[in-house]
Amino acid sequence: MKNIFKIFACAAVLGMTTSCTDILDTAPSNQLSSNNMWTTEESVDQGVIGVYYSLQRPFPGSGFIGASSMIGYYGYDAMGMCGQGEYGMQNMFTKSVNPSNGFFLTTWQWCYNGVHRANAAIEGIANSPITESKKARLVAECKILRAFFYDRLNILFGNNGVGVPLYTEAVDPADCNKGQSPESEVWAQVIQDLTDAINEPNLPDNQIQGEGRVGKGAAYALRGKAYLITKEYDKAAADFAKVGECGYRLYPNYKQLFKVENERCEEMILSVQYIEDPTGYGTAIQKYCAAFTQGSKDSRGCWTDLQVTPALVNLYEVVDGQNVKDFAWEDFLEDWNKVTAMEAAEGHTKYRKVFFIRDKFVNGMEIHSTVTKAVDTELAKLPAEIQAMYLPEGNEARLKKAYANRDPRLAYNVVTPYADYLGVTSNSSAEAWYTFRWPVAGKYYADQASAEPNANPNLPASYHASGFTNAQAEFKYIHRKFIGEGLEYQRREQNPVDEPIIRYADVLLMWAEALVEKGDLAGAMDKVKQVRDRAGIPTMASSFASQDKARNYVRDERRREFVNEGINFFDEMRWRTLKETKFSEQVAQHAWGGTESTGGTVYDWIGDQWYTWPVPKSEIELNPNLTPTPGWEY
């Protein structure tokens, strides 16, 4: 799609035709079905591009970020186990959530926008003036995209047998009056669309380093997922095997996989692809996920609205040669259990922050009086017994040990406490190193006079300015994956890195899921091992000693692998595990797993109906054939 969006960019800048802008209309089915579409090869190409374009910006960010805008797939991480949001999250996780919630409506509309664009394209292509082979290829592509949107709809709104309205022909929005088809029928349509694409000889196996379109590998991956969800595990495993035969495989370097130069590599099966120029064709992931001082050439001051959860960070194992073991805080902080027991007895999580407070001194020398004051202010909030656990001569050192010798993907995906990152100066004119510390005495860039190395010139040259989140009173885990380093990118809100929707690691781990359910634990271990070998992490046979243990381990591996890719939430929904993995946390948390006044969102479980999202109330009012979703009060 990189080339596809270059076409859009040119059209936007040059005003070449009206059809490109028509395709971007928020209610595109009228435009795509109109008489002036599908009459030339150029308009056919633009129409199909319009279907691909509907993959962009699936997430209504208002209430999750400090802006009202549609953002990328990374937004979904805040709804799963692996991520958290800074604000009220549109009340989606409170007891006040109901079918009138705008998040439900926007998601429903986004998915059906994609469905209707695909339907209009399939119908329009049939009578267009292009070769039969090209017609067949483009129809197959649109069927794959339609299947993707129905996959999303069925997981969110149609599970537990409920289903969603099934449209396979172009219709005017005013005529969308169908009721729900059963969940099984929707999955059957998804499988049929993907089977048609797989059987189309004009559809290539893959689009590696190509135009960014879908091929048979994407169809096999999506059909395998549908079979996995419908518990046809033999068929799922067979389809996942076919993805590799289509030419896809793991890219050898996990860290470099998420850079622009590798975004169209052999691992990326389906991606939303972006460019920096002109503006409007990149993602805002840098602005909403990065540390405050991780800007870009055009701007500094990122918002850090979306973060990583402590629960996810704690899943990254400790590596000791050819062995791995679960991470446990008590292995690194001898008083951890004592402190958490005191907290539990008193009903809060305020004390454990003592282990995360920065040093006052470097080489026996005070860093600065403002730092000392900030540290003492935090310590004064704690009982004397807890204050005594702070080590002024080396509090940071013992904490850093807890993040060393871990699964390397932790350091690739997350900025952990007292880790370094490359950011920008106050005017984005140069790069500068920062160390993520807490508390900070102010929001200073490395080139400003009040930053520690400038305020105290006697500090060692290796001592970097303090990095922090936008809300400087908070100490939360920060995303590193996809985030530009220093002046790597032109614009803070136009990150050019593609958003992967399906990559080969996803296929391998879904394949492992299917094999676990089949009872083939050795086969499942082999698939997981391929993913972990790429990151240089041993895979222990003990993790696959039983079906239950293997099932949970594969799920944890998916959580570790796909941080900030918007995959985990959909996993938790189809596994029906959100009650335990998300709502049990109760709040958005600091790095130490606790919350105070800056703790963020509260999670209130309303019942299992949360796993089947309600048909939006406004859609029920417009279409009397729709049935209200069971368990929800309209």
Cβ neighbours for 542, distance < 8 A, ≥ 6 positions apart: none
Is residue 9's pLDDT more than 50?
no
The CA-atom distances, in angstroms, between 93 and each of 204, 579, 600 are 43, 11, 12
Cβ neighbours for 528, distance < 8 A, ≥ 6 positions apart: 508, 509, 512, 539, 553, 554, 557
13 band by pLDDT with thresholds 50, 70 and 90: very low
12 band by pLDDT with thresholds 50, 70 and 90: very low
Return d(Cα 528, Cα 590) in angstroms, integer: 30
What per-residue confidence (pLDDT) applies to 599?
53
Is residue 298's pLDDT more than 60?
yes
Whose CA is closest to 359, among 452, 479, 293, 474? 452
Q: What is the per-residue pLDDT across 129-146, written as a single tens digit (0 to 9) for each?
A: 999 999 999 999 999 999
- Return the CA Rg of the chain: 25
Is residue 15's pLDDT more than 70?
no
Q: Phi, psi at residue 85, to the nearest 5°? A: -105, 165
Q: With helix as H, strand as E and coil as C, how does 30-87 read?
A: HHHHCCCCCCCHHHHHHHHHHHHHCCCCCEECECCECCCCEECHHHHHHHCCCEEECC
User: What's the one-letter identity of residue 335?
Assistant: D
Whether pTM > 0.85 for this model: the answer is yes
51 band by pLDDT with thresholds 50, 70 and 90: very high
Rounded to the nearest 10 degrees, how much is the dihedral formed by the CA atoms of 424, 426, 430, 433?
-40
Strand, coil or helix: 242 = helix
Averaged pLDDT for residues 1-18: 39
What per-residue confidence (pLDDT) applies to 278?
78
3 band by pLDDT with thresholds 50, 70 and 90: low
- State the DSSP H helix or E strand holding residue 319, giving kind and residue range, or none if neither: strand 318-320
Whose CA is closest to 601, among 221, 45, 89, 167? 89
632 phi-psi bin (left φ>0, alpha ψ -120 to 50, beta other): beta
37-45 LR contacts (CB < 8 Å, sep 24+): 37/120, 37/124, 38/124, 38/125, 38/127, 38/128, 39/128, 39/129, 40/129, 41/128, 41/129, 41/130, 42/17, 43/19, 44/124, 44/125, 44/128, 44/130, 44/138, 45/7
Percent of the chain with pLDDT over 70: 94
- Sign of CA pseudo-dihedral 247, 253, 255, 261: negative
Return d(Cα 32, Cα 123) in angstroms, integer: 10
Return d(Cα 557, Cα 259) in angstroms, integer: 22
Residue 602 DSSP code = B
Residue ranges per domain, the chain? 2-64+88-276, 65-87+277-497+567-603
Strand, coil or helix: 457 = coil
CATH architecture of the domain with range 2-64+88-276: Alpha Horseshoe (1.25)
Six-digit token pair at 375? 């540290």
Averaged pLDDT for residues 76-96: 95
Averaged pLDDT for residues 99-106: 98
User: What's the one-letter identity of residue 158?
Assistant: G
Q: Phi, psi at residue 574, to the nearest 5°? A: -75, -25
Q: Is 244 exposed, middle or buried (0-12, 13-18, 19+ CB in 10 A)?
A: middle
Return d(Cα 486, Cα 469) in angstroms, integer: 16
Strand, coil or helix: 323 = strand
Six-digit token pair at 56? 């962009």
What per-residue confidence (pLDDT) applies to 29?
47
